Chains A and B, each alone.
Chain A
Amino acid sequence: VATRGLDLAQARRREQRLTLGLAPDEQTENNMDSPLRLPAQALYRPTSLGGLQFDSSTELEDLSGGFGQQRAREAVEVGVGVRRQGYNLFVLGPAGLGKRTLVREMLEARAAGEAPPPDWCYVNNFAQPHRPRALRLPPGRGAELRRDMEQFVDELRATIPAMFESEEYRSRAEQIDAQVSEQQEKIFVGLGQESARDNIALLHTPAGFSLAPMRSGEVMAPEEYEKLSEPERERIQTRMGELQEKLQKAIREAQRLQKEKRARIKQLNREMTLFAVGALTEELKTRYGELPEVRTYLDQVQADVLENIEEFRRPEEAQTNILGLPMGEPPSFRRYEVNVLVGDERKVPGAPVVAEEYPTYPNLLGRIEHVARFGTLMTDFALIKPGALHRANGGYLLVDAYKLLTQPYAWEGLKRALSTGEIRTESLGQAWGLISTVALEPEPIPLQSKVVLFGERLVYYLLLAYDPEFGELFKVSADFEDELPRDAEHEMLYARLVATLARREQLLPLSRDGVARVIEQAARWSGDAERMSTQLEGLQDLLREADYLARNAGAAMIGAAQVQQAVDSRARRSGRVREKIHEAILRGELLIETDGERVGRVNGLSVSFVGDYAFGFPTRITANARLGDGEVMDIQREVELGGPIHSKGVMILSSFLASRYSSDRPHSLHASLVFEQTYGEVEGDSASVAELCALLSAIGAFPLRQSLAVTGSVNQHGQVQPIGGVNEKIEGFFDICRARGLTGTQGVIVPAANAKHLMLRRDVVDAVAEGRFHVYAVSTIDDALGLLSGLPAGEPDDEGAYPEGSANFHVAARLLELALVRQAYAQMSIKIKRVRAGKKPEPKPPQPKKPDPKKR
C-alpha cells in the first residue's frame, strides 16, 4: 500500500469523470455555475441612504445616555437607586464602549440633586492619643472648626501668659507663697528658739540641718565638749535626740506645706486659666451647639489646656531642644489642630462622584504618614490622609476592576470596607501584622458610598465564580452591549451618535454619505452586516482622522471618501505585520499555491491580531493517510502547538470519518494533519473543514484545487458551522491572489452561516462582481469537497454505497481496502505465531472477495 501520487490521482479522476459522462479535460475550476457562489451584492450591505433623512449631521439632535444601552442604564438605575448594603455596581463589557462616560454622566446627573455628604475630621483623642477620634460635621463646617481651633490656640497663647503676668495673679501667688513660707519659717524658727533655750544651735548644713551644743552663743568647740562632765554630756545628747526627732517632724511638715503650696498654686493657675479658656470654649460650644460630639470634644480640649497650662505660659521653654537645635513646632499645640479629612476640596455641589485611577490600598482607604525627627518616625492624627473612599463617602466611587485587582491588598481592603460599612485607615504593615511599632488606630468612619467597578466580562465572571464575597457586595451588574441590530431605527440612532461626537469634539459635520459609510464601518467592526459595533473609542478615532483628512482637503464636511480614506489609512498604519506575511507568501517563503491541484493539501485561512487590527492570510494544511488503527494524529497537538478547541475540531473530524465511512468495519486508517510553516500555537476550529477536506483528499487520493481557500468548522455530521473573522480571511486570500494576478478561478469557501457577516472591502466586492474572484457559501462538507475537488461529492444510495467516481466513493473504497489489508495482515500474523509455536496451521480460511466499493 503506497501513498498515491498526483499523477495517479489525476488519472483516476479523469477515469471517474468519464464514467460519469463528463468531458475528461473539462476543468470546472471557476465554478461560475455553482449555486454556492455568492453574488457581489451579498458581500456588502450598504446603508440605505433613504433611511437617513438629513443632508448634514448638524441637523441631527444630540444622542444622550449612550447608544442603545437601555439594559445597562436600567441596571445602573437600580444599582444606585437601591440604598441597601451590597447594592454596588459592576459595569461589564469590552473596553471602548463608553461605559465609564455613560455611567459617570448618569451618576453626576443624579449626584447633583443629592444632599452633599458631611465633613469628616480627625481630632486628637486626649484619653488615648493613638486612637484619634473622627468627628462628623455638616458640610463645610469641618474647615470652620479647624479655623476656630487655630484661633482658639492663638488666643490662649496670647491670653494665658498675659494673665500670669497680671498684678492679680502675682499678688495671689505671692500671698500663697508668703503664707506657706511664713508657716515654714515659723516651724523652724520655733524649733530654733526651743533649741536655743537649751543652748543647742540649729544649723544649716550643705544637705540639711544639724544640731550642736552652744556656749556663749557660739557652737561649742570639740575640746570644750570633751571637758564636760559625763552627766552633762548625757543631758545634751538626750536633749539633742529629742530635738532631732522634732526637727525630722518639722522637715516633714515643711515638705507637706510645700506640697500644699504647689497644689494651691496649681489650683490658682487653673482658676485663672479657666476664666480665659472657659470663655473661649463656651463661645465655641455655642457656635457648635447642635453638634454634641463637637461639644464633647471642646470640653476635652478645655480639660487638657487646664492640665497643661505651663506649655501656654512659656511655650518656648516647652519646645524640645537637642544640641541647641529647636525640634520643630512645640508638639503640645498640634494636638488642638483639626485634620479635615473630607470637606476641604469639595467644589461641586451635591454628592461627590470620584474616579480613582490608581486604586492602591492607601489610595483607597487612606494612609497614615510619618515624619522623621532625628531618625525617629513620628505620626499623629494630623498625618492621617484621606483615600478615595473618604472623598467619595456619601456619593459614588468609580474604579477599574483590573487595576484594583492588580494592586496588592486593594481588593481585600475595599471588600472589608464595604462589608463592614466603615473605612478603617491603617497601614498595610499594621493591617497584616507585619510591623510591631506603635501606630495609630484611627476611629473608623462610617461608609455610605456606592462603588462602581468597571471591567471586562471575564473579570466579572471570574470574580463571581471564585470570590464568594463578590456576589454579596456587588449585587447589580450592568452589562453593556458591544453590538446592536442594524435596522433603520438603530442606524438613525447611530447617525445621531456620530453627530453628537462630531459636535462634542468640534469636528467638521458629516454629510449623509459620510454618516452612511461610518455606519457600514460600524457593521464591519462588529463582523456582521446585520449588526453594528457600539465601540465608541474606535468611532471617535475614525471621526477625528476623517476630520483631519477633510480639513486637509479643504472640505466643509466629512464625506464618505474621507471616511474611507481614514479606514484605509488606519489599515495601512497597522499593516506592517500583515505586509510582512503577505510578502513572505509572495516571495515563496511561506508555501501557498493559488493555482493547480494537489492531493492532501488545502489552503486554510487564519486571522491574526496586532493590537486592535485584524488581518487574514492563507495557511497550508496538509494530510497524509496510511494503514493504521483509526487514529487521526494532530501534529499541532502532538508538539503542544495546538489549542484545545483546535484539538476538539480534529477529534470531531476523526469521528466523522469513522462514522461515515467505517461504521461497520474496522477503521483501519492512520492519518496525520498539520498546519505547515506555523511556529506558534494554532487555536480554534475554523480550519476543521479545510483539515477534513485535506484528509479526505489524502485518503481518496484525489487532488484539491489550490486556487481556493477554505474556512469553516465542521460537526460530526458533516455540517459546516460559522466561524469568526470571515471578512479578514477572505480579504487576506484575495490580496495574495490579486498580487499574483486574479485568474477568475480563485475564491474562498466560507460557511453559509457566515454569509450574513460579510462586509467586504470594495475592491473585493468589485472583483467578485467582475467574475475575477469568488466567494462560495457551503453548508456541508460535501459542498466544500465538491468545490475543492471538482468531483461530485456523491450521495449514498439506499445501501449506503456512493456513486462510482464521486469523491466519497474514493474515500470509502480506500478505507475498505485498508480494512481488508489489515485483516489479511492479522490472519498472517496468527499463522506465523502458530508455526513458531510448533502447531499445525489451521485450515485455510476462505479468501476475501475483491472489495466492492459500491457496498459499504
Chain B
Amino acid sequence: MTATLPAGPRLERVTLAVRQPAPDLLRAAADLARDLQAELAALFVEDRTLLRVAALPITREIGLMSGVSRAFEVPDLERMLRRQAELLREQVAAAAHAGRLAWSFEVRRGDLLEQAMASLAPERAVVLGHRTPRPPAAAREPAPVTAVLDAADAELRALQVALRLAGDQPLTVLLTGAEPEARRAQVEHAFAGRGPRPRIELAPGAALPRLALARRARIVVVSGTILRADRGALAALIDAITAPLILVD
C-alpha cells in the first residue's frame, strides 16, 4: 500500500450481479458508478440449481410469508425469472438515465458467485447482494461503510471505493492478510487530514470470522483477491450480511 491515496480510483465498470431485482443493491451500484464515472452493468443470473429443483417431480415451494405449500414447476419458474429479469432491466435503465450513465444488461444461467467472479477483473467492481430471500427486516440503522482489505493489488482501489462511498459517514477498515500492523500505520497515514478518521481493526489470518463482523455495515467493500481463493467464504459472507457487497479487483 502506498503512503498516500491517489485522487480517485480508476474503475471502468461497476457490475451488479443478482438473482432477483434488488433496489438497494442497484442504488448502491448506480451511486458508485456515478461517483467513479464508470459504466453500470447489470447481470441477472438464472440459478441453475433452482431450475434443477423445479424439474424434479416431487418438489414443492413453501411460501416465505404464507408458509403455504404449492407446486414448483420449471415453466412457472422460468416465467417468473423472465419477469424479474425484465423488471431489473427497467430499473437499471431508469437508474442509468437518472445518473446519465452508460449501461448494459445481460442474463446468464448458472451460479451467481461463479458469474460474479467471472465478471470481476482489474479496474472493475461487482456489487453483490444476498443470494436468498429473507424475512422482512427492520429498516437499517445508520451504520458505517466497512472496507475489508487483504494487502493485495486491489487493496488500494477497494479502500478508495470505500472512502468515496462513506463520504462524511463513518468508515471501518478491516485489515486481513499479512503484516497488518505495518499496513495499519500506512492506512492511518493515508487518511491524515482527510476529515473523520476511520476505525481500523486488524484481522490477521482469520478472514471469515472477522468478515462476519461486517454484517452490520451499511455497505461492505471487499478487495476481490480475498475471495478468489475461497468461494465458500464468499458464499458465507453473502449469506451473512444484509448490506450490499462490493467486490473490487
* Residue among A208, A221, A233, A240 facing the most chain B CB atoms (10 A cut-off): A208
A206 B80 Cβ-Cβ under 8 A: yes
CB distance from B80 to the nearest CB of A (A): 6
Residue in chain B with minimal CB distance to A165: B142
CB distance from A161 to the nearest CB of B (A): 10
Contact with A along B48-80 (1 / 0, CB 8 A): 011011111111111111010100100001001
Residue in chain A with minimal CB distance to B50: A205
Contact with B along A154-185 (1 / 0, CB 8 A): 00000000001100011001100100000010
- Of A47-55, A123-131, A250-258, A747-755, the one touching chain B: A250-258
Query: Which residues, 173 to 222 on A, are CB-close (under 8 Å) to B?
Result: 173-174, 177, 184, 201, 203-213, 218-222
A262 to chain B: which residues have CB within 8 Å? 138
A208 B61 Cβ-Cβ under 8 A: yes
A164 to chain B: which residues have CB within 8 Å? 141
B64 to chain A: which residues have CB within 8 Å? 207-209, 251
B138 A174 Cβ-Cβ under 8 A: no
Whether B176 sits at the interface, judged by CB under 8 Å, is: no
Whether B131 sits at the interface, judged by CB under 8 Å, is: yes
Whether A225 sits at the interface, judged by CB under 8 Å, is: yes
CA distance A184 to B69 in the complex (A): 20
B60 A244 Cβ-Cβ under 8 A: yes
Chain A interface category by residue count: 35 or more
Known: A212-B59, A258-B135, A261-B138. Contact between A203 and B67, CB under 8 A? Answer: no
B72 to chain A: which residues have CB within 8 Å? 205, 210
A170 to chain B: which residues have CB within 8 Å? 141-143
B216 to chain A: which residues have CB within 8 Å? 174
Known: A244-B69, A251-B67. Contact between A222 and B132, CB under 8 A? Answer: no
CB distance from A54 to the nearest CB of B (A): 89
A184 B52 Cβ-Cβ under 8 A: no
Contact with B along A385-398 (1 / 0, CB 8 A): 00000000000000
Whether A41 sits at the interface, judged by CB under 8 Å, is: no
Whether A237 sits at the interface, judged by CB under 8 Å, is: yes
CA distance A277 to B80 in the complex (A): 49
A248 B69 Cβ-Cβ under 8 A: yes
B52 to chain A: which residues have CB within 8 Å? 212, 219, 221-222
Q: Which of B55, B65, B131, B137 is A204 in contact with, Cβ under 8 Å?
A: B131
CB distance from B215 to the nearest CB of A (A): 9
CA distance A265 to B136 in the complex (A): 14
CA distance A63 to B14 in the complex (A): 96
Whether A383 sits at the interface, judged by CB under 8 Å, is: no
B193 to chain A: which residues have CB within 8 Å? none
Whether A820 sits at the interface, judged by CB under 8 Å, is: no
Q: Which of B57, B62, B81, B84 is A210 in contact with, Cβ under 8 Å?
A: B62
A254 to chain B: which residues have CB within 8 Å? 135
B138 A177 Cβ-Cβ under 8 A: yes
A204 B60 Cβ-Cβ under 8 A: no
B62 A240 Cβ-Cβ under 8 A: no
B138 A203 Cβ-Cβ under 8 A: no
CA distance A213 to B56 in the complex (A): 9
14 contacts between A and B (CB under 8 A): A169-B141, A173-B141, A201-B53, A203-B50, A205-B53, A206-B77, A207-B63, A207-B133, A208-B64, A209-B61, A213-B58, A221-B55, A222-B52, A247-B62
Contacts A212-B53, A222-B52 supplied; 6 other A-B pairs, CB < 8 Å = A164-B141, A165-B142, A206-B81, A207-B61, A213-B56, A219-B56
5 tightest A-B contacts by CB? A204-B132, A208-B64, A212-B53, A251-B67, A208-B63
